[in-house]
Chains A and B, each alone.
Chain A
Amino acid sequence: MNRLFIALFTLAAIARPASAGPPPPVVPCAETGTVIPSCGDLVTAGQTVVYAMVGDTQNNLMRRLARLLRDNTDKKLTLAWFTSGSCANIATAYTRQNIPTAQVMSYVPSIAENGTWTPEIPPPPATPMPTCRCTIPAATPPDVINSALFNSACPSGEGAVPPFVKLTQGPVQAYVLAVPEASTQTAITFEEAYFVFGFGTAGMALPWVDEAQMFIRTVSKSTLVAWAKNIGVDPMKWKGVRRDGSPMVVADLEGTTSPEQAIGILGAEVYDAERAKLNVLAYKSKGQYYAYYPDSTSTSFDKKNVRDGHYTVWSPTIWMDYINETTQVAANLNARYIIDIIAGKSVTPAASFDTIDPVAKVGLVPDCAMRVTRSFEGGPLSLYTPTQSCTCKYESIVDTTTCAQCSGSQPCASGTCRNGYCEVQ
């Protein structure tokens, strides 16, 4: 079978030049055994490839969006991505570095190539369907670069944004403190978190006094930096076991033999996929009367408390691409197309899928559903009114909405009919 895939891939590569007008050929994942093909082969086969470098909290978004883009009717794109810490990603963008040599990228099959592939993250012990893989061609810069927090929160992003980089603010990413399902803990305060992660065992913030049971991230990761800025503990001074990836933190929490003492930091969307084995702690921020979950209850998925400001540990995702310094035009229009979709902006040609859907379904909150904002990591919240609200649509995707439905023949009694719902503005 592997030889058949190689033969098909080779045949397709020969038959279709990159500039061909007809639809690209059907190319299955070309990986065979330990041999990972070059991403350049996809281009040769007629695909338009956009290379992305994203934080690992954005992996689920990439899976879902990549699938939709492969079959986007009027602009079919192959999104090939790899994950890397946000602060490292910012450094890459600001210094115009290439993607590391031989970096393995992920991409997904189109429906025609594999109709049964799904981006869904099933509850454990089931595992997500694997992505296809390819290796980056030599000296290739990333087209889309992501940080999952304000760039200014990272040492690499403290200075001015270079004139050749454009920053686009995308959907909001919440971060959580998670504990094993067997833990009896339900909430943590700002002060507790300060003592737990800033002092470790010496902090005497029971029951989290075992530094071997505090599962954190390395200093370049948005999950750590975002929490650090929110609780006032320098990222370098955190106590605990530093992990390079979110899956390792999940494994630590799920495998611990001391569930009451165990605690870990995760992106909310990572936690959402692990709810069967982990619990989120409600968080009581400085000056707050009660602790709140990111969602309106411990079991819902509505991110209501993120949207209205009761849950304060969140960051906007920042999406970067290169521009011509003189004209300000995007260096790669396909990269900008993808970024605009993620940010909820209108695109031409219009996408053949609902652009709010892939964002909402991975636990991110689109800007149009937010009612609070902030200007720096962990900064004070202020009220926010988006130009065009999508709250009703967002709620209909992640939970249920009480908004009235509308259509051309069924106008709204009040508000504006958008996406089939009567939005407030």
Chain B
Amino acid sequence: MKTLVAIFFAVPLVFIAACGDDGAGPKDAAADGPPGDAGTPDADCFMNPQTHEEIINACTTAQKITKNPTLPLLNADGSLPPLPP
């Protein structure tokens, strides 16, 4: 659930796009188990994906891995710094 809340605040545009009239909105979190379970659709997935962002986060029964590493060089806003020359 924490993951779902964080995503709602961190990437609101994804959900704004997803909650249009195309029926592609995220599924009700209460309907699923905790994120990361293999064989269980994600709590924050898209039932009817249309865009790239929705396709890569579409509901699936495939095994999924949670990974949110700490990266010292990541910019404060989460963006990537340019490559070294």
Residues of A within 8 A of B (CB): 186-189, 191-192, 194-195, 198-199, 202-205, 232-234, 237, 282, 284-285, 287-293, 296-298, 304-305, 308-310, 312, 372, 380-383
Q: How far is the CB of A28 from chain B (nearest CB, A)?
A: 47
Residues in A with CB closer than 8 Å to B2 are none
Indicate whether A289 sits within 8 Å of B42 (C-beta atoms), given known contacts A309-B55, A309-B56, A310-B58: yes
CB-based contact B71/A191 at 8 Å: yes
29 cross-chain CB contacts under 8 A: A189-B69, A202-B73, A203-B71, A204-B71, A205-B69, A205-B71, A232-B80, A237-B83, A282-B63, A282-B67, A284-B67, A285-B56, A287-B53, A288-B56, A288-B57, A289-B3, A289-B45, A290-B67, A292-B60, A292-B64, A296-B63, A309-B56, A309-B58, A310-B58, A310-B60, A380-B52, A382-B52, A383-B49, A383-B50
Indicate whether A296 sits within 8 Å of B61 (C-beta atoms), given known contacts A202-B84, A203-B73, A290-B35: yes
The total of interchain contacts (Cβ-Cβ below 8 angstroms) comes to: 108
Indicate whether A204 sits within 8 Å of B67 (C-beta atoms), given known contacts A285-B56, A289-B42, A381-B55: no
A186 CB contact (under 8 Å) in B62, B65, B69, B74: B65
Bound-state CA distance A367–B67 (Å) is 31
Q: Tell me the nearest residue of chain B to A237, going by C-beta.
A: B83
Count of chain B residues with Cβ under 8 Å from any Cβ of A?
36
Contact with A along B29-65 (1 / 0, CB 8 A): 0000001101000101100011111011110111111
Bound-state CA distance A312–B7 (Å) is 20
Q: Tell me the nearest residue of chain A to B85, going by C-beta.
A: A237
Indicate whether A199 sits within 8 Å of B55 (C-beta atoms), given known contacts A186-B65, A297-B38: no
Residues in B with CB closer than 8 Å to A305 are 60, 62
Residues in A with CB closer than 8 Å to B55 are 308-309, 372, 381-383
Known: A189-B68, A199-B83, A298-B63. 20 other contacts (CB 8 A): A192-B69, A195-B71, A195-B73, A203-B73, A232-B80, A233-B83, A282-B64, A284-B67, A288-B57, A290-B67, A291-B64, A292-B60, A292-B63, A296-B62, A305-B60, A310-B56, A310-B60, A310-B62, A383-B50, A383-B55
Q: How far is the CB of A392 from chain B (nearest CB, A)?
A: 17
A191 CB contact (under 8 Å) in B57, B63, B69: B69
CB-based contact B65/A289 at 8 Å: no
Q: Tell me the nearest residue of chain B to A282, going by C-beta.
A: B65
Q: Tell me the nearest residue of chain A to B67, going by C-beta.
A: A187
